[in-house]
Amino acid sequence: MSRIGKKPIAIPSGVTVSLDGQTVTVKGPKGQLAWTVADEVAITQDDGQLTLAPLQDNQRGRAMWGLSRTLVNNMVEGVTKGYEQTLELVGVGYRAAMKGNALSMQLGFSHDVDIKPPAGVTFATPKQTEIRISGIDKQVVGEIAAQIRRIRPPEPYKGKGVRYAGEKVRRKEGKKK
């Protein structure tokens, strides 16, 4: 039995949720998100909260129950608070700056790396060595952060590269003389 799936999703004031078959649309102060719930899960709305339940008691039904509840809850949280991911640039000469709404990074290559934000995502560079990615869709924000990190992941000898804020990089011992 899914402990996550059992919890009802509270709908805060200022957020409207509409159900059209299996499609859930959430509108809030920060924007609008829509997602289609899996066919194995029934979703109902009553008394300012959403409740999900599996239609069949099998492995896939129970798995989709918890997943669907989490994804719908992330949508509600995204349109109210939004999501933010912070990246740090560590290394001599590694820096980031904004070019219009695009992000331009110098990461030790012979050229600058420019990244345009997808719809609904914004970049900010409060410091030259810090990048803030924010948006209402948790999956898109995390994916963009992972793509930026993938350009120059932290290496284990000096720790240089792009890392998540607070990420611990396991350091290796260098060569001995």
**pLDDT tens across 111-164, in order?**
999 999 999 999 999 999 999 999 999 999 999 999 999 999 999 999 999 999
| Res. 109 pLDDT band, cuts 50 70 90 | very high
Does residue 116 sit in the same domain as residue 160? yes
Q: Which domain holds residue 58?
A: 3-80
Judge whether 172 lies within some domain. Answer: no
CA gap 77, 48 in Å, rounded: 15
Which residue bears the tokens 């869709």?
137
Using a cut of 0.85, tell me whether the model's pTM lies above it.
Answer: yes
- Asked whether residue 29 is assigned to any structural domain, the reply reads yes
- Strand, helix or coil at 62? helix
**53 and 23, same structural domain?**
yes
How are beta strands 49-54 and 41-46 bridged, if at all?
A: antiparallel
Share of the chain above pLDDT 90, in %: 87
Rg for the chain, CA atoms, rounded:
21
CA dihedral 31, 37, 41, 43 (to 10 degrees): 30
Q: How many CA atoms lie within 13 A of 29 on its CB side?
A: 8
Query: What is the tally of structural domains in the chain?
Result: 2
User: Does one domain contain both 75 and 107?
Assistant: no
Q: Rounded to an integer, what distance in angstroms lies between the CA atom of residue 136 and that of residue 53? A: 26
Q: How many other C-beta atoms can be found within 10 angstroms of the C-beta atom of residue 162? A: 25
Give the per-residue pLDDT at 1. Answer: 59
Structure tokens at 107: 């990461």
Q: Say whether both 100 and 67 belong to one domain.
A: no
10 lies in a domain? yes
The two tokens of residue 30 are: 């920060």
C-alpha 128/C-alpha 100 separation (Å) is 16
In a domain, 11, yes or no: yes
Q: Domain check: are 7 and 75 in the same one?
A: yes
Assess whether 55 and 69 both reside in one domain.
yes
The type of residue at 37 is V
Q: Are residues 66 and 118 in the same domain?
A: no
* Domain end (from 56, 80, 104): 80
Q: Which CATH number characterizes residue 50's domain?
A: 3.90.930.12
20 lies in some domain: yes
Q: Which of 53, 80, 107 is the last residue of a domain?
A: 80
Does 112 reside within a domain? Answer: yes
Q: What is the pLDDT of residue 37?
A: 93
Helices 138-151 and 59-80, interaxial angle, to 10°?
A: 90
State which H helix or E strand residue 97 sits in. strand 95-99
Among 80, 97, 117, the domain-final residue is 80
Rounded CA-CA distance 4/51 in Å is 11
Residue 78 reports pLDDT greater than 80? yes
Q: Is residue 18 part of a domain?
A: yes
Residue 127 sits in the same domain as residue 90: yes
Q: Is residue 173 part of a domain?
A: no
